[in-house]
Structure 1
Amino acid sequence: MSFIVNFTTRWADFDANVHMRHTAYNDYCAEARLRFFNKFGITIHDFTREKVGPILFEENTRFLKEIHMGEDISVNLKITGLSSKGERWKIQHEVFNGAGKLSAIVTVYGAWLDLVQRKLTIPPSKFQQIFTDAEKTHDFTEIVLKSEK
């Protein structure tokens, strides 16, 4: 299933060079992830009720083309890696400028955190399923955990 979000950028997203500031790309990708969960029936209330939440270990941004002040953008979400029980995941976002040109690629590596025990955990099946059903990148690979080797 394909997922893309269109955003109207804000004045605060831009820097003195009149292009989008570097951290704004990551902010829009984080918003896209939350909207992804919402679209498939997982809200902040579900995170609270299940006592589980997503955490990031790594976030990498590759800048390809400027986004200028006043341009609207779109951000997609694809899964590049997933462990067998869904406890670890890698997500790729592509950020497109107003003309539809690829402007940045943001990759995040994360896991699910038990919010009570404060340790990594296997997510509820509802949470696992949306990543299993999500669009995958052409180079998708299974994440093999050390305990599985």
Structure 2
Amino acid sequence: MWSQIDANMHLRHSAYADFAAQARLAMLEKAGMDARHFQELHIGPILFREETIYLREAGPHDSLRVTCELTKCRPDGSRWSVRHEIYRKDGIKSAVVNVDGAWIDTKLRKLAALSGELMEKFTSLPRSEDFTETTS
């Protein structure tokens, strides 16, 4: 989209974050954790940190493919990290987006743990080769 291109005629910096967020939500939906279900349970994902590493530019006519995988997670799923890799249509990796997040109770506005049902779905998400279980 034209709105995703900057003055240098390549993908603007914040568009990478938008593509990563869309892919992350699609990954959750594929695991059975859709937005409607989150609303019913008054829980949702939040981010504490987002880092983008730019490798190669993507232009106005490039099609992109975004991968998502868990890189880190507490045993109860309360805190987690996801790596997104963004590839151009020619297979060249354009960027890596790393995020650290958690779950929030949308009524209490406090961090929350996943229910047993959601935790079971969350543990089915793709994991990176360097995945680690952590307490921090």
Would you say same fold, with TM above 0.5? yes
Distance of 1:66 and 1:130 partners within structure 2: 35
Residues 130 and 104 (structure 1 numbering): CA distance in 2 closer, same or farther, change over 3 Å? farther
- Which region of structure 1 is more displaced relative to structure 2, 75-84 or 118-127? 118-127
Report the AA paired with residue 56 of structure 2. K
CA distance in 1, matches of 2:80, 2:2: 33
State the TM-score, normalized to the length of structure 2: 0.94
Aligned partner of 2:4 in structure 1 is 13
User: 1:14 is aligned with what amino acid?
Assistant: I
Residue 11 of structure 1 contacts residue 70 of structure 1 at CA under 8 Å; is this kept in 2? no
Question: Could you list the runs of 4 or more consecutive aligned residues of structure 1 that deviate by over 3 angstroms after TM superposition?
Answer: none
Q: TM-score, normalised by structure 1?
A: 0.86
- Structure 2, unaligned stretches of length 5 or more? none
Does the 8 Å contact 1:55/1:111 carry over to 2? Answer: yes
Map 1:62-141 onto structure 2 (within 5 A). Answer: 62-141=53-132
CA drift of 1:129 comes to 2.6
Alpha-carbon separation, structure 1, partners of 2:8 and 2:56: 14
State the distance in 2 between where 1:22 and 1:65 align: 12
Q: What is the CA–CA distance in structure 1 between the aligned matches of 2:23 and 2:69, rounded to whole Å?
A: 11
CA distance in 2: counterparts of 1:36 and 1:135, whole angstroms: 9
SS of the residue 1:80 aligns to? strand
Residues 112 and 122 of structure 1 are in contact (CA less than 8 Å); yes or no, is this contact kept in structure 2? yes
